[in-house]
């Protein structure tokens, strides 16, 4: 199920960064929002992991699909002026937004937390393996992201008379 805040913020941020810099290589992103104190391994399924790994290993070509609307809503429709997208291999990331805004996230995540972490897919797989084998865990604890992942900071910019909120994604290209 799509997140109504995090994914649109990432989409706006990607569009914004593409306007500001010449992006040196393609990036694939899988977004996960977490309100608890850990990210279960099962939240990123095998097909998503395979797609992220494949994106880094070979060029990418895909038919641009337009999903049918749900109840007449166009929120999930992808509008494109073309049929296919092809690009060279790039880098893949899992972005995790820890957002504990309504209630205390527990001892590890204080109320009001809204932090985003980027993990390259290879590091995600290595971390998953180490946590599973050596610590017999089935999830990434919040502390793991603090110690191992790249924190992506919140940002805002003006578009006309509106303030737009998103995430500073430029570190993904460094």
CA 132/CA 30 separation, integer angstroms = 21
Task: Write out pLDDT tens, residues 149-159.
Answer: 999 999 999 99
- The strand pair at 27-34 and 91-100 is best described as parallel
CA 93/CA 122 separation, integer angstroms = 9
Share of the chain above pLDDT 90, in %: 66
pLDDT of amino acid 82 = 82
User: What is the domain count for the chain?
Assistant: 1
* Position 64 in a domain: yes
Q: Residue 55 is encoded by which pair of tokens?
A: 């994106």
Polymer length of the chain: 174
**Residue 140 pLDDT exceeds 80:** yes
> Which residues fall within 8 angstroms of residue 121, CB to CB, at 6 or more apart?
49, 52, 53, 56, 92, 93, 94
CA 41/CA 152 separation, integer angstroms = 21
* Position 149 in a domain: yes
Task: Write out pLDDT tens, residues 59-117.
Answer: 988 887 665 555 555 555 556 778 888 999 999 999 999 987 665 555 666 777 899 99
* Higher pLDDT, residue 58 or 79: 58
Are the CB atoms for 169 and 17 separated by under 8 Å? yes
* Position 97 in a domain: yes
pLDDT of amino acid 66 = 61
Domain harbouring 119, CATH code: 3.40.1350
19-25: average pLDDT: 88
16-38: average pLDDT: 91
Instruction: List the domain range (segments joined by +) for residue 18.
Output: 6-173
Nearest to 128 by CA among 29, 38, 51, 17: 38
Q: Is the dihedral of CA 54, 56, 60, 65 positive or negative?
A: positive
pLDDT of amino acid 1 = 45
* Position 107 in a domain: yes
Are the CB atoms for 56 and 90 separated by under 8 Å? yes
For the ranges 1-10, 73-82, 92-101, 134-143, the one whose mean pLDDT is highest:
134-143
What's the pTM value of the predicted model, to 2 decimals? 0.85
pLDDT of amino acid 72 = 56
pLDDT of amino acid 36 = 87
CA 171/CA 43 separation, integer angstroms = 24
* Position 1 in a domain: no
């Amino acid at each position: 199920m799509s997140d109504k805040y995090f994914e649109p913020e990432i989409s706006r941020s990607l569009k914004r960064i593409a306007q500001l810099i010449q992006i040196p290589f393609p990036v694939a992103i899988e977004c996960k929002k977490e309100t608890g104190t850990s990210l279960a391994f099962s939240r990123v399924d095998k097909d998503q992991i395979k797609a992220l790994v494949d994106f880094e290993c070979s060029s990418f070509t895909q038919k641009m699909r337009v999903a049918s609307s749900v109840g007449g809503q166009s929120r999930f429709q992808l509008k494109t002026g073309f049929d296919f997208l092809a690009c060279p291999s790039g880098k893949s990331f899992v972005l995790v937004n820890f957002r504990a805004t309504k209630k205390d996230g527990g001892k590890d995540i204080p109320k009001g937390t809204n932090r985003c972490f980027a993990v390259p897919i290879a590091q995600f797989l290595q971390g998953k393996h180490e946590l599973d084998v050596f610590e017999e865990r089935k999830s990434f604890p919040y502390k793991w992201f603090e110690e191992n992942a790249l924190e992506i900071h919140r940002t805002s910019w003006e578009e006309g008379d509106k303030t737009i909120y998103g995430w500073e994604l430029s570190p993904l290209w460094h």
